[in-house]
A and B are shown apart, each in its own frame.
Chain A
Amino acid sequence: MLDANPEGYTTADGRKIGGVLMEMRNITLRFGGVKAITDISFDIREGEIRAIIGPNGAGKSSMLNVISGFYVPQEGEVWFHGQRRAPMKPYEVARQGIARTFQNIALFDGMSVLDNIMTGRLTMMKTGLFSQALWWGRAQAEETEHREKVERIIDFLEIQSIRKTPVGRLPYGLKKRVELARALAAEPKLLLLDEPMAGMNVEEKEDMSRFILDVNDEFGTTIALIEHDMGVVMDLSDRVVVMDYGKKIGDGTPDEVRANQAVIDAYLGVAHD
Chain B
Amino acid sequence: MFYREAGDFKTSYKDDSQTFPIRFDRRGYYAALLLGFAVLPFLLNDYWTNAVFIPFLIYAIAALGLNILVGYCGQLSLGTGGFMAVGAYACYKLTTAFPDINIVFHILAAGVITAGVGVLFGLPSLRIKGFYLAVATLAAQFFLVWLFNRVPWFYNYSASGQISMPERTVFGIPVTGAQVAPWAGYLVCLAFVVLLAWMARNLTRGATGRKWMAIRDMDIAAEIIGVNPLRAKLTAFAVSSFYVGIAGALFFSVYLGAVEVGEAFGIEKSFAVLFMIIIGGLGSIFGSFAGAAFMVVLPVLIKLVLVDSWGWPTDLAAHIRLMIVGALIIIFLIAEPHGMAQLWRLAKEKLRLWPFPH
- B199 and A133 within 8 A (CB): yes
Contact of A122 with B225 in the complex, beta carbons under 8 Å: yes
Docked complex Cα distance between A106 and B206 (Å) = 21
Q: Smallest Cβ distance from A185 to chain B, in angstroms?
A: 9
| CB nearest to B218 among chain A residues | A106
Say whether A91 contacts B14, CB under 8 Å. no
In the complex, A28 has a CB within 8 A of chain B = no
> Is B213 within 8 A of A108, CB to CB?
yes
Stretch at the interface among A124-132, A222-230, A265-273: A124-132
Instruction: Determine whether A99 belongs to the interface, using a CB cutoff of 8 Å to chain B.
Output: yes
Can you name the residue of chain B whose Cβ is closest to the Cβ of A100?
B224
| A255 at the binding interface (Cβ < 8 Å) | no
Q: How far is the CB of B109 from chain A (nearest CB, A)?
A: 16
**Contact between B206 and A99, CB atoms less than 8 A apart:** no
Q: Is A134 an interface residue (CB 8 A)?
A: yes
**Is A208 interfacial (CB-CB < 8 Å)?**
no
A75 contacts partner chain B, Cβ-Cβ < 8 Å: no
Contact call A118/B225, Cβ cutoff below 8 A: no
Chain B residues whose C-beta falls within 8 Å of the C-beta of A95 in the assembled complex: 226
Is A143's beta carbon under 8 Å from chain B?
Answer: yes
The digit string for A94-114, where 1 denotes a CB below 8 A from any CB of B, is 110001101000111111000
Interface-side segment among B227-235, B314-322, B324-332:
B227-235
1/0 per residue, CB under 8 A from B, across A28-70: the answer is: 0000000000000000000000000000000000000000111
| A219 interface residue per 8 A CB criterion | no
CB of B139 within 8 Å of the partner chain: no
* Given A106-B218, A119-B214, A129-B208: A70 touches B203 (CB 8 Å cut-off): no
Question: Provided the pairs A91-B224, A95-B226, A122-B227 are in contact, do residues A140 and B217 lie with their beta carbons within 8 angstroms?
Answer: no
- Are the CB atoms of B218 and A122 closer together than 8 Å? no
A147 contacts the other chain (CB 8 A): yes
Measured between alpha carbons, how far is A100 from B224 in the docked complex, in Å?
A: 8
Say yes or no for B269: interface residue by CB 8 A criterion: no
Known: A108-B213, A132-B202, A135-B206. A70 touches B224 (CB 8 A): yes
A238 interface residue (CB < 8 Å to B): no
B218, B226, B235, most chain A CB atoms within 10 A: B226
Chain A interface helix/strand/loop/mixed: helix
CB neighbours of A134 from chain B (8 A) = 199, 202
B93 within 8 Å of A by Cβ?
Answer: no
- Give A221 to B229 CA distance when docked, in angstroms: 27
B203 A110 Cβ-Cβ under 8 A? no
One digit per residue, 1 when the CB lies within 8 angstroms of any chain A CB and 0 when it does not, for chain B 218-250 equals 101111111111000001000100000000000
Interface check A115, CB cutoff 8 A: yes
Q: Are B210 and A111 in contact (CB under 8 A)?
A: yes
Contacts across chains A and B counted by CB atoms under 8 Å: 105
User: Does any Cβ of B come within 8 Å of A15's Cβ?
Assistant: no
User: What chain B residues lie within 8 Å of A108 (beta carbons)?
Assistant: 213-214, 216-218, 221-222
In Å, the complex CA distance between A125 and B283 comes to: 22
Residue ID in chain B nearest A128 by CB atoms: B208
Q: Given the complex of chains A and B, what is the CA–CA distance between A127 and B220 in angstroms?
A: 24
Bound together, the chains give a CA A107 to CA B222 distance in angstroms of: 9
State A147–B203 Cα separation when bound (angstroms). Answer: 16
Chain B residues within 8 Å of A120, by CB = 225
Complex interface residues of chain A between 176 and 235 (CB less than 8 A to chain B):
182-183, 186
CA distance A93 to B208 in the complex (A): 20
B-facing residues in A127-170 (Cβ within 8 Å)? 127, 129, 132-135, 139-140, 142-144, 147-148, 151
Asked if A84 is an interface residue, CB under 8 A from chain B, the answer is no
Q: Which residue in chain A gives the minimum CB-CB distance to B239?
A: A129
Task: Please give, as numbers and ranges, the residues of chain A lying within 8 Å of B213 by CB-CB distance.
Answer: 108, 110-111, 115
CB contacts (< 8 Å) of A74 on chain B: these are none
Contacting pair B218 A119 (CB below 8 A)? no
4 tightest Cβ-Cβ pairs between the two chains A and B = A94-B226, A106-B221, A108-B217, A123-B226
- 21 residue pairs A–B, Cβ–Cβ below 8 Å: A68-B224, A91-B223, A91-B227, A102-B221, A106-B221, A110-B217, A111-B210, A111-B214, A125-B207, A127-B206, A127-B207, A129-B208, A132-B202, A132-B203, A132-B208, A134-B202, A140-B14, A142-B207, A143-B17, A186-B225, A186-B226
Interface residues of A, Cβ cutoff 8 Å to B: 68-70, 89-91, 93-95, 99-100, 102, 106-111, 115, 118-120, 122-123, 125, 127, 129, 132-135, 139-140, 142-144, 147-148, 151, 182-183, 186
